[in-house]
Structure 1
């Protein structure tokens, strides 16, 4: 294949898929600037091996794998550079709608997950990949994807559960909370 054809095919792919790939990067990083950098670096690395990706017919999976691996490497390198606080600094932004607050809370809680766990949750529940596709992207077994996703979702449920709500939606809270008559008996 001539170099100009290769470049044209790569450019066509980038134009067609960059929006969804950028969304994946944003969900992994939680920051627009970092997401753009992650995508740009992953695409630059993938361009060098574009013939290999095309020969397998898995161009998007190849790029997603490069994105996830680059993100995990970045997180590992900067793990000790950031200092997390219990309470976020005060913000003077106007009040947000509940939906926006929920999305922000979810993004913050996603950021607390381990990099591979976060990648598994994002690939399965945001990108919508199957367990097999996620396993290929992460370079692990389907069982490992299931385990990572299960643990990630369990951690999210635990940290995002509003105070006073039952841990399990099936649990009958009325039966477990004593009333004033029951306490006095």
Structure 2
């Protein structure tokens, strides 16, 4: 790579790194794993930077690569054998209701299968349309809709009934 594309790559990564890390964390539910996912994504973006730079929506391209790295990793035997945990959660601490709701939603999200979690993160966190999500995942719009439906139903079952409507999946935004 010459200096100019290299600088463009560095500038793009410097600007979008926080977004990629947050997305990876929502997918993996672990900051260390998220950093590994982002690093793998950055390598793939660098190797194909000419194609990325020519894309009409670089963020969509980067999100698609990140999600595909995550899903690919989940298919390996290593992901099924090893569960990484940051540290034990202190259950004795007093938590305000909003933090408790956020923990409940994250716990329920973590329990979903990887593709369902990816669909919800892309649709509701990244605010992508059904078609954009399907493109990022490399599947049909119908598959996105069915994964969304199943994932939201699972989240509704997993969340306590006393969750505020704004926190519950399908609640007002």
Compute the displacement of 1:54 (Å): 2.0
Paired residues in the alignment total 157
1:85-96 mapped onto 2 (5 Å cutoff) = 91=90, 94-96=93-95
Deviates more, 1:63-72 or 1:50-59: 50-59
Q: Distance in 1 between matches of 2:25 and 2:103?
A: 13
Partner-residue secondary structure (3-state), 2:93: coil
**Rg comparison, structure with higher value:** 1
Give 3-state SS (helix, strand or coil) of 1:113's partner: coil
Q: CA RMSD in A?
A: 2.0
In structure 1, the gaps of 5 or more residues are: 84-88, 164-185
Equivalent in the alignment of 1:79: 80
Structure 2 residue 137 is the aligned partner of structure 1 residue 127: no
Aligned position for 1:36: 35
Q: Does structure 1 conserve the Cα–Cα contact (< 8 Å) formed by 2:55 and 2:61?
A: no
How far the C-alpha of 1:90 sits from its partner, in A, is: 7.0
Offset of residue 56 of structure 1: 2.8
Structure 2 match to 1:153: 152
**Alpha-carbon separation, structure 2, partners of 1:79 and 1:160:** 25
Show CA shifts across 1:5-40 (max 9, x none).
Answer: 111111111122111111111100111111111111
Structure 1 equivalent of residue 17 of structure 2: 18
Q: Which residue of 2 aligns with 1:54?
A: 53
What is the CA–CA distance in structure 1 between the aligned matches of 2:93 and 2:83, rounded to whole Å?
A: 27
Q: Which residues of structure 2 form unaligned runs of 5+?
A: 163-173
Distance change >3 Å, CA 49–CA 110, structure 1 → 2: same
The answer on 1:100 being equivalent to 2:99 is: yes
State whether structure 2 residue 2 is matched by structure 1 residue 3: yes
Contact 2:64 2:137 in 1 (8 A): yes
Q: 1:161, CA displacement in angstroms?
A: 3.4
> Do the aligned partners of 2:41 and 2:62 also contact (CA within 8 Å) in 1?
yes
Within 2, Cα distance between the matches of 1:74 and 1:93?
Answer: 35
CA separation of 1:146 and 1:97: change in aligned 2, threshold 3 A: same
- TM-score (norm. length: structure 2): 0.83
- C-alpha spacing 1:96/1:161, structure 2 compared with 1 (3 Å): closer
SS in structure 2 opposite 1:10? Answer: helix
Larger deviation: 116-125 or 61-70?
61-70
